[in-house]
Amino acid sequence: MLDPLALVSVAVMLLVAKLGGGLFEKFRQPAVLGELTGGILLGALSLFGVAWVDGLRGDAVVAALAEIGVIILLFEVGLESNAGEMLAVGWSSLLVSTLGVAATFALGWGASALFLHGAHALVHVFVAAMLCSTSVGITARVLRDIGRLQTREARIILGAAVIDDVMGLLILAVVAGAIRAAAAGQTLALADVGLIALKAVAFLAGALLAGQYVVPHLFRGAGRLESRGALVALAVAFCFLLAWAASLVGLAPIIGAFAAGLVLDEVHFESFARRGEQTLTALLAPVSALLVPVFFVLTGLRVDLRAFGRVGVIGFALLLTAAAVAGKLACSLGVTGRGTNRLAVGLGMIPRGEVSLIFAGLGATLALPTQGGAEAPVVNAATFGAVVIMVVVTTLVTPPALKWALRREPRGETMKSERGTMN
């Protein structure tokens, strides 16, 4: 029987999420920060001896719902991206993404080596990997709010963010594989690293090919089913199957969920749309509105405020934030084309969000042998807290900075009247 305590836990988490998210949105800040902050405050109750909060942190049902929420979230991210569009944005996005990821990775490694002196090299790699992805939602929101979503800058940013996600997931696959090998006492040869990367690429390529040739037939056949809710059920089943398949080849389930989203396209659901059913994105919205906040509140809950008492953790957080900001600003060097607002592209790539937090959550469950011979989590309480602060700060600074940069028109740009083309 389901423990009714799990029900009240989820209910409280939803209330905290919507209250926090709603308050932050009132002040034109992203809701996800409100959910995270709500979770941190809820977690602070355990400092005052509220044992229920400690139970919440370890509740298996709540954790399962949060993880399913993340899988649904990555599925949605994948749905929003489109393999065809990714290829169309072309070289500029690829160059921006590669430069940004490389610079951030290098700076992140440096910051980690500086602060986590003496830790396993793979810890530094993991910390660096956590900084790489871009959470483009907040940038897209700002661009839409000021009517610039159709500009060249916007297209470069959005394309590069998708490539960032793919690169981040590839790095995660390799790092997690290396950590698992190290935990088992083996060291990975370069060939093994290559093998993991190859598996990840092969998985994504295989999923894309299947998407091209198999999925349309499957969903056309499924469209003949008149069962209520068949579309959303089949789509989620497909997502879960790919998440499981990813775990079979040693990748994180979220990689499979992302691939499932990338592969599915509204065109596959024509037969459903003709019956007047809602789009998959609309159907998934209430599902993710229920599950995703559970993940973000739980992430906030898991921030150990006691870690901040220790000297230097705030310093580590600021160091990581600086690395995250500087790394993405460097990517503006990759912007090609005269008259493109390079600074705006760099600033637009700064925000970190769900992918960094998901990485942090994963890292907290991985362990590496320490020099003393014992095991230590790859992401300890200090690192976890520092990453959460990095996410909060990068997300908060982006909107004002981006608006400022876009008002500063670069020399030579042909002023296009783009206001009013909001969608």
In the complex, the residues that contact its own copies under the rule CB under 8 A are 1-2, 4-8, 10-12, 14-15, 17-19, 21-22, 25-26, 31, 34, 60-61, 63-64, 67-68, 71, 222, 224-230, 232-234, 236-238, 240-241, 243-244, 247-248, 253, 283-290, 293, 365
Between 61 and 397, name the residue whose CB sits nearer to its own copies.
Answer: 61
First to last CA, the chain: 47
Question: Which tokens hold the place of 371?
Answer: 């020099």
Q: For residues 234 and 219, is the Cβ–Cβ distance under 8 A?
A: yes
Between 31 and 303, name the residue whose CB sits nearer to its own copies.
Answer: 31
How many residues can be counted in the chain? 423
Between 68 and 204, name the residue whose CB sits nearer to its own copies.
Answer: 68
Q: Is 367 helix (H, G, I), strand (E, B) or coil?
A: strand
Between 226 and 417, name the residue whose CB sits nearer to its own copies.
Answer: 226
CA distance 295 to 290: 10
DSSP calls for 32-81: HHHHHHHHHHHHHGGGGT-HHHHHHHH-HHHHHHHHHHHHHHHHHHHHHS
Between 245 and 319, name the residue whose CB sits nearer to its own copies.
Answer: 245
Cβ of residue 382: shortest distance to its own copies, in angstroms? 22
Cβ of residue 362: shortest distance to its own copies, in angstroms? 8
Cβ of residue 410: shortest distance to its own copies, in angstroms? 34
Detail the DSSP E strand segments found in 93-234.
none
Classify burial at 416, counting beta carbons within 10 Å of its beta carbon; exposed 0-12, middle 13-18, buried 19 or more.
exposed
Cβ of residue 32: shortest distance to its own copies, in angstroms? 10
Between 253 and 353, name the residue whose CB sits nearer to its own copies.
Answer: 253
**In the 8-state DSSP scheme, what is residue 262?**
H
Between 278 and 380, name the residue whose CB sits nearer to its own copies.
Answer: 278
Cβ of residue 6: shortest distance to its own copies, in angstroms? 7
Between 84 and 276, name the residue whose CB sits nearer to its own copies.
Answer: 276
Residue 185 Rama label (left phi>0; alpha psi -120 to 50; beta): left
What Rg, from alpha-carbon coordinates, does the chain have?
21
Between 236 and 317, name the residue whose CB sits nearer to its own copies.
Answer: 236
Between 205 and 237, name the residue whose CB sits nearer to its own copies.
Answer: 237
Residue 332 Rama label (left phi>0; alpha psi -120 to 50; beta): alpha
Cβ of residue 408: shortest distance to its own copies, in angstroms? 30
If residue 377 lies in a helix (H) or strand (E), which one and from where to where?
A: strand 375-377
CA distance 307 to 309: 5
Cβ of residue 39: shortest distance to its own copies, in angstroms? 14
Report strand pairing: 375-377 vs 367-369.
antiparallel
Cβ of residue 341: shortest distance to its own copies, in angstroms? 29
Q: Is 411 helix (H, G, I), strand (E, B) or coil?
A: coil
Q: For residues 9 and 56, is the Cβ–Cβ distance under 8 A?
A: yes
Cβ of residue 340: shortest distance to its own copies, in angstroms? 31
Tokens 């088992």 -> residue = 184
CA distance 383 to 112: 9
CA distance 162 to 74: 12
Residue 53: CA atoms inside 13 Å, Cβ hemisphere, count? Answer: 21
Between 17 and 319, name the residue whose CB sits nearer to its own copies.
Answer: 17
Cβ of residue 38: shortest distance to its own copies, in angstroms? 11
Beta bridge partners of 369: 375
CA distance 250 to 170: 12
Cβ of residue 282: shortest distance to its own copies, in angstroms? 8
